[in-house]
Amino acid sequence: MTTSYFQIEPSVSHSLSVGWKKMMEQFLPLLLIVFICAILQGPVRFIKGDADFNFLMLMFLPLLLAYGFLFWPVIDYGSDFLFLKAVRSQKVEVAELFEGFRTKFVQIVLANLLVFALVMVGLFLLIIPGIIIGCRLVFVSYLVMDKDMEAIAAVEESWRMTRGYGWTIFFLGVTSFFLVIAGLMVMIVGVLVSAMWISASYAALYQSVLEYRQNNETLPILGVNEVPEG
């Protein structure tokens, strides 16, 4: 018989606790995943304004935009799913980081574009709506990868799942910011560990909300995978 880590009300402290525990159980493959993502995210940071806009950037802008909207989201969604597998005590295979190119490319690209557009619209509406939308759509990547949902369905389901947990997600985001700052204080290794912990914590929150709503609400939610005791 299996037991679950997620029979209590989802919270920031619970997500961080489970995230840390599960991160440590598969530390090396998760570290490699975060390291690969850090390298591959470089061009995305470039187009987001981390570098000065100049003629060279203008010349390569179409390629950078294609990279940011057609390549990076697949890696990002794949990373989220692998951390979810770690939270579920399932074996993490680093090669699966690229599996989305073969199996879910269109769903991932469309979902990422839809979330990006909605958040941008919210940010233009005096910023706070953008933050709210970003919090409520935080589960889209998991729903696409875990439940094989189409873009619109994943956005709608994430909005429904996160109802009542907006502040929890927001404060987990604030905590994540300080974890990154703490990681920067101990250089590269600290940043990587912080990134691992944050990713595992968000995956733990998704799994927690998924199971908690399933067990405590009459409104059915999508199927839940039990998590074996680690």
3-state secondary structure of 62: helix
Residue of higher predicted confidence among 182 and 57 = 182
Q: Phi-psi bin for 91: left (phi > 0), alpha (psi -120 to 50), beta?
A: beta
User: In this structure, is residue 5 part of a structural domain?
Assistant: no
Percentage of residues of the chain with pLDDT beyond 70: 84
Angle between helices 72-87 and 105-124 (to 10 degrees): 100
Residue that the structure tokens 């999508």 belong to: 222
Evaluate whether 190 touches 172 at the Cβ level (below 8 Å).
no
User: In this structure, is residue 223 part of a structural domain?
Assistant: no
Helix, strand, coil proportions of the chain in percent (round to 5)?
75, 0, 25
Residue that the structure tokens 């890696």 belong to: 75
Residue 181: alpha-carbon gap to chain centroid: 19
Q: Which domain holds residue 200?
A: 12-216
Q: Domain tally for the chain?
A: 1
User: In this structure, is residue 24 part of a structural domain?
Assistant: yes
User: In this structure, is residue 167 part of a structural domain?
Assistant: yes
**Helix residue spans in 88-186 (DSSP H):** 100-103, 105-124, 128-136, 140-147, 151-161, 166-185
Total residues found in the chain within this entry = 230
The string of pLDDT tens digits covering residues 194-208 is 999 999 999 999 999
Whole-number pLDDT of residue 63: 85
User: In this structure, is residue 4 part of a structural domain?
Assistant: no
User: In this structure, is residue 225 part of a structural domain?
Assistant: no
User: In this structure, is residue 192 part of a structural domain?
Assistant: yes
The string of pLDDT tens digits covering residues 29-38 is 999 999 999 9
User: In this structure, is residue 199 part of a structural domain?
Assistant: yes
Q: Which two tokens stand for residue 18?
A: 């489970």
The string of pLDDT tens digits covering residues 147-162 is 999 999 999 999 999 9
pLDDT score of 115 more than 50: yes
Confidence grade of residue 225 (pLDDT, cut at 50, 70, 90): very low
Mean of per-residue pLDDT scores for the chain: 87
Whole-number pLDDT of residue 229: 37
